């Protein structure tokens, strides 16, 4: 049998998985290629962090299935999602997997592709704007030649629940540190930075980046836990540590913040 195709009762139908990044929240931050893919998909499996407004781009007759999980709450398992991809590809043809941010930035996209491949299903990847890039919406660049010529993007919650050891490595550098899924590890992160002599370095917590519910606060790296407590900061959130937090002129940033309701000093 030709790879990526199967024989039904009478017709040969292509089976395909399209892995699509939905972006960080704002439905206008999806790529044109992704919009075109949504219009042609037979089935869309979408996550909690993928803006539901994007489903308006789906074609008539497209089956839409919610498979979202929120934080560490129990929901549909990854194994079940993998099986559903194959089931729907067999039944209908093209399955589009719509994932928040970018599927290859802590998005388990590789697991879904590998399972599809094991079942002889072709795949395609369409990148999305990551929340890592979206921190610029709060006036924080990833790099700046005056402050940082590189950056680390680190998970704050490994598969076994522990904090990545790379946080200690990053704390020894002068690069920007961006930590995703790390809200439950704020005290531990702050302690690592204190131990590395970086307790006074600027830090920001950005909650629900690029959505109408986004909010943010800034302070010192040693105050990360207190910042979150005082401002009610919860997941989904991005933690940014480095001088880039102060890179944009304070007066200009204050004017931007006033109009957008974004960055503010830790309460």
- Residues 144 and 61 grouped into a single domain: no
- pLDDT confidence tier of residue 262, bands split at 50, 70 and 90: very low
In the predicted structure, residue 195 carries a pLDDT above the cut 90? yes
CATH number (domain holding residue 98): 3.40.1010.10
- Residues 71 and 164 grouped into a single domain: no
- Neighbouring CB atoms inside 10 A of 73's CB total 7
CATH number (domain holding residue 233): 3.30.950.10
Q: Is the dihedral of CA 73, 79, 81, 84 positive or negative?
A: negative
- pLDDT confidence tier of residue 12, bands split at 50, 70 and 90: low
Over residues 186-200, mean pLDDT: 97
Q: Is 146 helix (H, G, I), strand (E, B) or coil?
A: coil
* CB within 8 Å of 11: residues ≥ 6 apart: none
The pLDDT assigned to 8 comes to 41
- Residues 98 and 173 grouped into a single domain: no
Quote the percentage of the chain above a pLDDT of 90: 77
In the predicted structure, residue 11 carries a pLDDT above the cut 70? no
Inside any domain, residue 61: yes
Over residues 127-152, mean pLDDT: 93
- Residues 68 and 149 grouped into a single domain: no
What is the residue range of 246's domain? 132-260
Over residues 185-213, mean pLDDT: 95
Average pLDDT of the chain? 88
User: How many domains, in total, are found in the chain?
Assistant: 2
Q: Is the peptide bond before 236 cis (omega within 30 degrees of 0)?
A: yes
- Cα-based distances in Å from 181 to 107, 113, 172, 185, 222: 11, 23, 21, 9, 18
Inside any domain, residue 161: yes
For 194, phi then psi, to 5°, come to -60, -45
The pLDDT assigned to 149 comes to 86
Helix, strand, coil tally for the chain in percent (to 5): 35, 25, 40
The pLDDT assigned to 148 comes to 92
The pLDDT assigned to 224 comes to 97
In the predicted structure, residue 267 carries a pLDDT above the cut 60? no
Dist CA 145 CA 45 (whole Å): 41
- Residues 33 and 120 grouped into a single domain: yes
The domain boundary, picked from 129, 153, 171, lies at 129
Inside any domain, residue 89: yes
User: What would you report as the CA-atom Rg of the chain, rounded to the nearest whole angstrom?
Assistant: 20
Over residues 57-70, mean pLDDT: 92
Listed residue (81, 24, 23, 70) closest to 48, CA to CA = 70
Dist CA 182 CA 221 (whole Å): 13
The domain boundary, picked from 79, 94, 129, lies at 129
The pLDDT assigned to 58 comes to 98
- Residues 256 and 136 grouped into a single domain: yes
For 3, phi then psi, to 5°, come to -55, 135
- Residues 116 and 21 grouped into a single domain: yes
Q: Is 22 helix (H, G, I), strand (E, B) or coil?
A: coil
- Residues 166 and 243 grouped into a single domain: yes
- Residues 140 and 91 grouped into a single domain: no
Determine which helix (DSSP H) or strand (DSSP E) holds 220, and give its type and residue range. strand 215-220
- Residues 40 and 18 grouped into a single domain: yes
The pLDDT assigned to 3 comes to 43
Over residues 174-198, mean pLDDT: 96
The pLDDT assigned to 10 comes to 35
Q: What is the DSSP letter of 35?
A: H
Dist CA 99 CA 67 (whole Å): 10
The domain boundary, picked from 113, 129, 145, lies at 129
Inside any domain, residue 266: no
- Residues 116 and 205 grouped into a single domain: no
Inside any domain, residue 217: yes
In the predicted structure, residue 71 carries a pLDDT above the cut 90? no
For 164, phi then psi, to 5°, come to -60, 140
In the predicted structure, residue 255 carries a pLDDT above the cut 60? no
- pLDDT confidence tier of residue 4, bands split at 50, 70 and 90: very low
- Residues 39 and 86 grouped into a single domain: yes
């Amino acid at each position: 049998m030709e790879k990526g195709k199967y024989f039904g009762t009478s017709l040969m139908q292509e089976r395909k998985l399209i892995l699509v990044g939905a972006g960080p929240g704002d439905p206008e931050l999806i790529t044109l290629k992704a919009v075109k893919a949504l219009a042609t998909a037979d089935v869309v499996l979408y996550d909690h962090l993928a803006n539901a407004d994007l489903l308006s781009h789906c074609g008539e007759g497209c089956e839409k299935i919610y498979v979202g999980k929120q934080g560490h709450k129990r929901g549909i398992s990854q194994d079940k999602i993998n099986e559903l991809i194959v089931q729907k590809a067999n039944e209908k043809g093209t399955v589009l997997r719509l994932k928040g941010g970018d599927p290859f930035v802590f998005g388990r996209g590789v697991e879904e592709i590998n399972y599809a491949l094991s079942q002889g299903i072709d795949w395609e990847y369409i990148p999305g704007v990551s929340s890592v890039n979206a921190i610029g919406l709060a006036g924080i660049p990833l790099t700046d030649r005056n402050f940082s010529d590189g950056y680390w993007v680190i998970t704050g919650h490994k598969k076994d629940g522990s904090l990545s050891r790379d946080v200690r490595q990053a704390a020894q550098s002068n690069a920007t540190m961006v930590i995703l899924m790390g809200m439950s590890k704020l005290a531990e992160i702050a302690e690592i930075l204190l131990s590395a002599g970086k307790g006074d370095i600027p830090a920001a917590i950005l909650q629900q980046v690029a959505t109408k519910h986004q909010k943010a606060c800034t302070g010192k790296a040693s105050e990360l836990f207190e910042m979150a407590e005082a401002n009610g900061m919860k997941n989904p959130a991005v933690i940014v540590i480095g001088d880039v937090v102060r890179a944009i002129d304070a007066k200009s940033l204050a004017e931007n913040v006033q109009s957008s309701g974004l960055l503010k000093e830790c309460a």
